[in-house]
Amino acid sequence: MAEQQQQRSGPAAAAAELPAPLQSAPRFVKVAATQMACSWDTEANVKKAEDLVRAAAADGANIILLQELFETPYFCQEQKQEYYRLAQPLEGNLLIQRFAKLAAELHVVLPISFFERAGNAYFNSLVVADADGSIVGHYRKSHIPDGPGYQEKFYFSPGDTGVKVFKTRYADIGVLICWDQWFPEAARCAALLGAEVLFYPTAIGSEPPNPSYSSYPHWARVMQGHAGANMLPVVASNRIGKERFENSDITFYGGSFIAGPTGEIVVQAGSSGQQPNGGIDPEPAQQEGYVLAGFDLDECRMNRAGWGMFRDRRPDLYGAITTLDGSRNAR
């Protein structure tokens, strides 16, 4: 476990003292990313997740991120119809009820990942429980991967909710899921919708066709880019441990991290120490726990405005991004 507070920098910190009309109390939020190994003992998994939430809350965290599908092993390694039995509807969902109650008890915000059944459709979904336990929104994973060891298209339909931003007690947050994190369009949409922090619950590890290859540094750099391009903090939570199935096994990387609004790694689970130039430790140790970091959201907003990244956008030129093959221009 580690903690580091974001330092003042940029236009918002240019003057040590401001005239009274320009002064305001900081909007400080502390965020946490957890990580743990999962087994087929679902109650043990849920209890472990609850214990991590309690520990992070005791350390002052306001918003705590658990990993993707933390109730079970990552069953998408193989295609098996029996795993559809793991899906539960949103209404009356006992996992959601348990963690919403926990959020209210601890006065924290909790994104809660779950396997959703909705009629004849199945989704990789989450809800956000606010600090009073109320459910403030529901998101279904937009981008569904399909490859050796990550056969999610067998289980999940592409989400139909669109990118969502959730207003919570402590911040307006964008929460996307795993493969969503590789798409800068989704991160930018969340920022345009008012997200002050981006959260990514994740399950990523070794590639079954080539176990010696690590995509971990690439994975981290993509999200560091989202943080820097949108000038907002990014929180990523990943699982750890080796999970074996009949014809596949994956060693999950862990390495959950929090990036600051210029893309630098503020804190990383399992890191051997601070890396040069705000980079990531490419081989983090496998350890259960959580990491914490704090940010002044008003300072982030002022710095974002000062850089002009949103002021100088040209959406009239970006028509190609709305097509699959780039064939249509905005003009």
- Where in the sequence numbering do the catalytic residues fall? 68, 141, 178
Distance of CA 316 to the CA centre of its chain: 30
Query: Which residues, other chains included, contact 150 with Cβ-Cβ below 8 Å and sequence gap of 6+?
Result: 76, 77
Burial (CB count within 10 angstroms: exposed 0-12, middle 13-18, buried 19+), residue 21: exposed
CA nearest neighbour of 31 among 1, 56, 58: 56
Query: Which residues, other chains included, contact 313 with Cβ-Cβ below 8 Å and sequence gap of 6+?
Result: none
Q: Which two tokens stand for residue 272?
A: 């051997």
